[in-house]
Amino acid sequence: MTGAARASSTTRDIARAAVRAELGQVAFELFCREGFDKVTVDELAAAAGVSRSTFLRYFGTKEDAVLAAFDGHDRRLADAVRARPAGEDDWTALRHALDTVIERYHRDPSGALATMRLVRDTPALWARHLEKQHRWGPALAGALAERAGSTGPATLAQSVRAAAALDCLNVALDHWTASDGRLDLVVLLEEAFAALAAR
């Protein structure tokens, strides 16, 4: 690919990401105002000033318009685990890797809180989110195996630690959301991990 073609492709990707983010924001605001179940795809497209087919090119479903906020978490988490110091134990590495996920809660706490409320209060969104999050576990466990120098699949212990780390994240987020964001999410996550730390 020539430099010009690469630049053109990059420009298109940036433009597409910007449009997707804008459509997602319009959808999110409409869901918060009207209720997720009451809003149709046609209404989302109309609110965004695009056709139904254009909206569906960026988001295959209404759920995708909200859950896109969590896209790439599995990859970012796995990369963060791999980047932890070699001598660090798995549990500590997992705890620090989760900082990549909760960074948004520091950058935009009110937006993150509204997103979590919408997801957790909407059964269809919560089910899809858990389905997506279920794929984070194997990615985390695989990263733990790589840290240990293994070229094979993750061990049972590594898979259990990865699943437990995600449960700690969910419990911490539950408490954070229930507190209307008043509690410190980092402290909650630390407490959740401490509760399962080896004695």
**Tens digit of pLDDT for each residue in 9-29?**
688 888 888 999 899 999 999
Q: How confident is the model at residue 85 (pLDDT cuts 50, 70, 90)?
A: very high
CA distance 34 to 43: 11
Q: How confident is the model at residue 154 (pLDDT cuts 50, 70, 90)?
A: very high
Angle at 59 (CA atoms; ends 58, 62), nearest 5 degrees: 150
Structure tokens belonging to residue 172: 């911490």
Q: Phi, psi (5° rounding) for residue 150?
A: -85, 140
pLDDT of the residue at 199: 55
pLDDT of the residue at 5: 54
pLDDT of the residue at 163: 96
CA distance 67 to 132: 9
Structure tokens belonging to residue 161: 């630690």
pLDDT of the residue at 13: 81
Mean per-residue pLDDT, 112-136: 92
What's the whole-number average pLDDT of the chain?
91
CA distance 59 to 26: 12
Give, rounded to a whole angstrom, the gap between the first and last alpha carbons of the chain.
56
Which pTM was predicted? 0.85
* 58 has a pLDDT exceeding 80: yes
